[in-house]
Amino acid sequence: MRTLCASTLIGEFFVIGFAGLVAMKDPDLAGSTVWTVSGIAMFLCLALCGVVTRPGGIALGWALQLALIVSGFVVPTMFFMGAVFAALWWASVHYGRKIDEAKARFAAQADSPTPDAA
């Protein structure tokens, strides 16, 4: 699960950076504000890569997905991109857990002794 979730978060890292560039064109927004918010969100993406398997890591990821969707009020394209990344986050968590379960079953099966064929 960690690999899939981290891949999604790294993709979000870049999308947030590009959204910051788009937000810079808005004359109502101060550049320092745009880059402070974008920088914090980008840092959170990287930090979550390391804690996604710890308690609360998935919930923090969902909070980041919600924040990405809400950022559509500043950069309208982010409504769409946020929804896409929320779907990717769901798929990463859902299928990542299935992969982890299958790996655990395979490892348990490989470790169990096999009866001797006589």
Confidence at residue 109, expressed as pLDDT on a 0 to 100 scale: 87
**Taking the chain (118 residues) in consecutive chunks of 10 residues, what is each chunk's mean pLDDT?**
91 95 92 94 94 92 95 94 96 92 88 66
Confidence at residue 118, expressed as pLDDT on a 0 to 100 scale: 52
Confidence at residue 117, expressed as pLDDT on a 0 to 100 scale: 53
Confidence at residue 116, expressed as pLDDT on a 0 to 100 scale: 61
Confidence at residue 111, expressed as pLDDT on a 0 to 100 scale: 80
Q: What is the DSSP string of the chain?
A: -HHHHHHHHHHHHHHHHHHHHHHTT-TTS-HHHHHHHHHHHHHHHHHHHHHTTSTTHHHHHHHHHHHHHHGGGTSTHHHHHHHHHHHHHHHHHHHHHHHHHHHHHHHHHHHSPPPPP-
Confidence at residue 104, expressed as pLDDT on a 0 to 100 scale: 87
pTM, to two decimals: 0.84
